[in-house]
């Protein structure tokens, strides 16, 4: 297990280093301006779905269903075709109604800014079907305990965006955002290619030409019964960040960028430790529970949570103490000013308060997913999100971006509390 955690952490670390280099260039070239806000809004929706798919709902519903399926080839191919067809149609729908979609995710933007942002939203959304293909292949590879391709291929998106920034340097802000938008698509294509190569090397089959075998069966029905609740159950932190962006569109220009840059720093230890551990741990926990070895599953979770508590606790203390220095080192250059650094560092501190509860929730939620209790996980997440919304509306008026970040962190404690309470109730029955 430790080997798989290290592989995931190494891949995530490489990706995040490149991601910070990308953000460094973005901050230097665009600063915390209306055009940086526009790109972050355009990429926010597909990126939200990416995180829900790649780090949550799909994998957590697919792997237990795939493990229990007696016709794995038939099951996997039906799911692949159904999801891909739906996401392609959804992307086409977003293209047709891009102005309305843009208005929905950035209500506070003026009509002129909506007009500017609309084409970028339409372009970036086509990243979603690409990242679904990546996630589907990644789930098959994870079941075979192959983690390296998925872990390291995430760097390809950041490489594509870095090159987009370098090629567009010196051009108008509007042109730079176009380059970035198409860079998102190129990054997705590169990730797909990397996974196709890995699937061939591992000799994993996922398609069949038998038409009769493509009819939906009990396995697919059970998958969807767990998938839709898992969408909510696995996405608390991501939905909180999306809510922050939506509310921040009502505030002054640059606020969305402060939240984005601070959340990027917050996501590093969360991904490096919590997500890397949960991805490596989940197939083992799911197989142990499938074999009715609950004690082994509990031992795996307890061991992982102790290690994670130490790592996340250290990251929280370091991040809070050196928040301003971290933001200064990563972002303060070019158009990103000293004032931007001060504002971003305060937001970062508020996000870091929730690092431990969000990270531990990632681990403990695996118990619910492995028992296919996605409905329960969804209810817990909705309680947390509901409290987050109330706190955000209360704190945004006096504290603005800082209040939004603090509300998100406080909801993380609510999420952890209800998750642990449910596990305790489940073990006592």
Question: Using an 8 Å Cβ cutoff, are 45 and 87 in contact?
Answer: no
Residue written as tokens 């939004």? 404
For the stretch 195-208, pLDDT in tens is 999 999 998 887 76
Instruction: Give the pLDDT of residue 208.
Output: 66
The overall longest dimension of the chain from CA atoms, in Å, is 64
How many angstroms separate the CA atoms of 240 and 223, rounded? Answer: 26
Handedness of CA 412, 413, 416, 417 (dihedral sign): negative
Q: Where are the domains of the chain?
A: 2-428
> Closest Cα to residue 119, out of 86, 135, 96?
96
For the stretch 164-203, pLDDT in tens is 999 988 888 888 889 999 999 999 999 999 999 999 999 8
Instruction: Give the pLDDT of residue 235.
Output: 62
- Contacting residues for 103 by C-beta, under 8 A, at least 6 apart: 109, 114
Low-confidence ranges of the chain (pLDDT < 70): 1-4, 32, 48, 51-56, 107, 208-216, 231-239, 427-429
Instruction: Give the pLDDT of residue 280.
Output: 79
328: phi then psi, degrees, rounded to nearest 5: -60, -45
Q: Calculate the average pLDDT of the chain.
A: 85
- Contacting residues for 157 by C-beta, under 8 A, at least 6 apart: 15, 184, 187, 188, 190, 191
Taking the model in full, what pTM does it have? 0.71
> Closest Cα to residue 401, out of 343, 340, 338?
343
């Amino acid at each position: 297990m430790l080997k798989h955690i290290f592989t995931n952490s190494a891949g995530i670390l490489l990706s995040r280093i490149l991601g910070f280099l990308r953000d460094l260039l973005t901050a230097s070239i665009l600063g915390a301006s209306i055009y940086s806000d526009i790109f972050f809004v355009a990429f926010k929706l597909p990126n939200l779905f990416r995180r829900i798919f790649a780090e949550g709902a799909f994998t957590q519903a697919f792997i237990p269903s795939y493990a229990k399926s007696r016709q794995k080839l038939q099951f996997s191919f039906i799911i692949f075709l159904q999801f891909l067809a739906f996401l392609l149609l959804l992307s086409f729908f977003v293209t047709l109604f891009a102005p309305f979609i843009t208005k929905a995710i950035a209500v506070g933007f003026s009509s002129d800014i909506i007009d500017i942002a609309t084409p970028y939203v339409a372009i970036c959304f086509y990243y979603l079907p690409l990242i679904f293909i990546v996630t589907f292949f990644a789930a098959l590879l994870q079941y075979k305990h192959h983690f390296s391709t998925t872990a390291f291929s995430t760097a390809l998106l950041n490489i594509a965006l870095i090159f987009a920034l370098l090629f567009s340097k010196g051009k108008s802000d509007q042109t730079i955002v176009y380059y970035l938008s198409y860079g998102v698509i190129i990054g997705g294509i590169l990730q797909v290619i990397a996974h196709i190569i890995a699937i061939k090397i591992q000799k994993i089959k996922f398609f069949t030409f038998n038409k009769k075998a493509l009819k939906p069966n009990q396995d697919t029905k059970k998958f969807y019964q767990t998938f839709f609740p898992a969408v909510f159950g696995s996405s608390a932190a991501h939905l909180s960040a999306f809510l922050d962006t939506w509310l921040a569109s009502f505030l002054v220009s640059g606020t969305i960028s402060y939240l984005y840059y601070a959340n990027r720093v917050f996501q590093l230890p969360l991904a490096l430790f919590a997500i890397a551990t949960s991805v490596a741990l989940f197939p083992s926990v799911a197989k142990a529970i499938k074999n009715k070895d609950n004690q082994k599953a509990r031992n795996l979770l307890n061991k992982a949570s102790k290690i994670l508590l130490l790592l996340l606790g250290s990251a929280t203390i370091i991040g809070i103490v050196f928040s301003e220095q971290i933001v200064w080192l990563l972002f303060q250059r070019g158009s990103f000013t000293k004032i931007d650094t001060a504002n971003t560092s305060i937001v970062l501190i508020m996000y870091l308060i929730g690092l431990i509860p969000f990270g531990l929730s990632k681990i403990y939620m695996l118990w619910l997913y492995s028992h296919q209790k996605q409905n329960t996980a969804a209810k817990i997440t909705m309680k947390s999100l509901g409290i987050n919304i109330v706190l955000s509306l209360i704190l945004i008026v006096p504290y603005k971006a800082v209040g939004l970040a603090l509300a998100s962190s406080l909801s993380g404690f609510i999420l952890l509390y209800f998750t642990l309470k449910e596990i305790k109730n489940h073990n006592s029955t």
